[in-house]
């Protein structure tokens, strides 16, 4: 799986949304994720990709693509 697929799989499991409904353009607002969902998601991503994502960086994340780009730039 590439990074985008891994990120989507985690989001789908964590937020209980169908995998095939997720694209790089999907925003967290669209899938009804609130700030605590995002905190949990970030924790799952940190574990999966073995990196640390700061609170400031979390604020800039709006879409799934933003996360993928951020992770790609870090590993």
Partner 1 sequence: MGHNGAAITGCGAALPERRLTNRDLEKMVDTSDRWILERTGIRERRLLEEGLSTVDLSERAARDALDGAGIKPHELELILVATVTPDYPLPAAACCLQARLGAFRAAAMDVAAGCSGFIYALAVADQFIRSGAYRNVLVVGVEIPSRIVDWSDRSTCVLFGDGAGAVVMQPADGERGLVAFELGADGRGREHLYIPAGGTVLPTSAETVQRQLHYVKMNGTEIFRFAVRIVQETLERLLEKSHLDYGDLDHLFLHQANLRIIESIRKKLRLPREKVPVHVDRYGNMSAAAIPVALFEEKAAGRLKEGDLLAAVAFGAGLTWGGILMRW
Ligand X SMILES: CC(C)(COP(=O)(O)OP(=O)(O)OC[C@H]1O[C@@H](n2cnc3c(N)ncnc32)[C@H](O)[C@@H]1OP(=O)(O)O)[C@@H](O)C(=O)NCCC(=O)NCCS
Q: Which residues are catalytic?
A: 34
Helix (H), strand (E), coil (C) string for the chain: CCHHHHHHHHHHHHHCCCHHHCCCCCECCCCCCCHHHHHHHHHHHHHHHCCCCCHHHHHCCCEHHHHHHHHHHHC
Nearer to ligand X, 36 or 75 (CB): 36
Encoded one letter per residue, x for contact with partner 1 by CB under 8 A and - for no contact, window 52-71 reads: ---x----------------
Encoded one letter per residue, x for contact with ligand X by CB under 6 A and - for no contact, window 19-58 reads: ----------------xx----------------------
């Amino acid at each position: 799986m590439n990074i985008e697929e891994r990120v989507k799989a985690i989001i789908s499991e964590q937020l209980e949304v169908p995998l095939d409904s997720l694209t790089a353009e999907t925003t967290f607002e669209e899938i009804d994720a609130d700030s605590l969902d995002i905190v949990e998601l970030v924790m799952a991503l940190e574990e999966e990709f073995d990196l640390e994502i700061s609170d400031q960086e979390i604020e800039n994340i709006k879409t799934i693509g933003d996360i993928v780009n951020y992770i790609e730039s870090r590993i």
